Amino acid sequence: MLITAIGRRLSTDATTGIPMSQSILLYLNERPVATLQDLRVETPWSTAQARFLDAALGDALERVARFRTFDEQLEALDLPEDEEEARWEAKLAELGLTHADLGLDFDGQWSVVLEDGPEQEVRSIRFEDGVLQWRG
């Protein structure tokens, strides 16, 4: 399969966090879903501005990120399991998420492709306020 990206590549030291002027394609399950720009790399983390081809996917990822933050805060409360479960379900409903949606960030096969480079696996993906963060 031929994969190409848009933009031009400027190299930088991967540990400095200096932005790279390059467009990158983000893939989910081998299908392009977004273009990424203004890449910043601070090993092992990367961030970029994301423009999703389908805005609904970006919206779903943002809602999943909000749920993950809520879940971390909920765990810290050390509530009885039934109360924790009730709050968890209420937050899912509030955000319009299903249990299946929660697999989007962890279960999907995410990758990025630089214009002249190989496909690179993306892990620990998080999308908030137009910025995608991942561990490469």
Confidence of residue 19 (pLDDT cuts 50, 70, 90): very low
The one-letter amino acid at 64:
V
pTM above 0.85, yes or no: no
pLDDT of residue 10: 32
**Closest by Cα among 131, 108, 114 to 123:** 108
pLDDT of residue 23: 67
Residue 122 burial (CB count, 10 A): 20
Q: Is the Cβ–Cβ distance between 110 and 125 less than 8 Å?
A: yes
pLDDT of residue 84: 95
Mean predicted confidence (pLDDT) in 84-96: 96
**Whether the predicted pLDDT of 54 surpasses 90:** yes
Query: What is the helix (H) or strand (E) element at residue 63, kind and residue range?
Result: helix 55-77
CB under 8 Å to 7, separation ≥6 — which residues? 21, 22, 23, 24, 37, 115
**Whether the predicted pLDDT of 20 surpasses 60:** no
